[in-house]
A and B are shown apart, each in its own frame.
Chain A
Amino acid sequence: GAGVSQSPSNKVTEKGKDVELRCDPISGHTALYWYRQSLGQGLEFLIYFQGNSAPDKSGLPSDRFSAERTGGSVSTLTIQRTQQEDSAVYLCASSPRRASSYNEQFFGPGTRLTVL
């Protein structure tokens, strides 16, 4: 079946512009995660959605970052007034929710964001 997909694959923007990154999780997966992979910083958790529960936004680095998940499926990560330090690969992952499972996270190919 289809895996996690993300669009666009690459995005180049100018400092100060807003960008939207999209994630389509695996069908039926109730949990969705966003991570950021910066050069030299490894992967950092940004936000977590689980069903209808309030999202865990504890990893968002500033109020310029926001995310939503519509209908429990597609998610959009929005970065307002982009800065050069926002340049990174943004990875999305999804997982099924099984009470007794370790809930493997399946990752998408990421969106590489470059802020000029």
Chain B
Amino acid sequence: AQTVTQSQPEMSVQEAETVTLSCTYDTSESDYYLFWYKQPPSRQMILVIRQEAYKQQNATENRFSVNFQKAAKSFSLKISDSQLGDAAMYFCAYRSAQGGSEKLVFGKGTKLTVNP
């Protein structure tokens, strides 16, 4: 079974600075997807960024980028120019690409605080 580990229960960053959230995963599959979701206090899970395992290029979405290291099974999220609205829980998630159930396997999350 696949597992996802987020080793930082909490992180903080100053507004306008950069922060990196860590995520590692364990799988024997070669093809899969990785995601970062943001969950503000409203509980609404919002997709931040995704990465297909077969793509070597790291995904980027505006201020959000990932460092995907397939051999190391690492998938960190970098937030640049942090804003107050970035404060939330961030979840790393894994999904198999081998068909069947498309369930997401989540890490336990990292609570990000942005200080003004």
Contact = CB atoms under 8 A, between A and B. Distances in A.
Give the interface residue-count category, chain A: 20 to 34
B110 to A, nearest CB: 11
A102 B50 contact: yes
A58 interface: yes
A56 B45 contact: no
Contacts of A33: 102-104
A96 B46 CA distance: 16
B43 A109 contact: yes
Contacts of B47: 104-105
B92 to A, nearest CB: 10
* Interface secondary structure of B, over-half rule: loop
A105 B94 CA distance: 12
A42 B45 contact: no
A11 to B, nearest CB: 14
A22 B101 CA distance: 21
B91 A45 contact: no
A43 B91 contact: yes
Interface string A34-47: 01000011111100
B56 interface: no
Contacts of B106: 35, 42-44
Interface in B68-116: 91, 95, 97, 100-109
Contacts of A35: 104, 106
A40 B44 CA distance: 18
Contact of B101 (A40, A56, A91, A112): A56
Interface in A24-73: 31, 33, 35, 40-45, 48, 50, 56, 58-59
Interface string A87-111: 0010101010000001111011110
Given A89-B43, A109-B44, A102 B101 contact: no
A49 to B, nearest CB: 10
Interface of A: 31, 33, 35, 40-45, 48, 50, 56, 58-59, 89, 91, 93, 95, 102-105, 107-110, 112
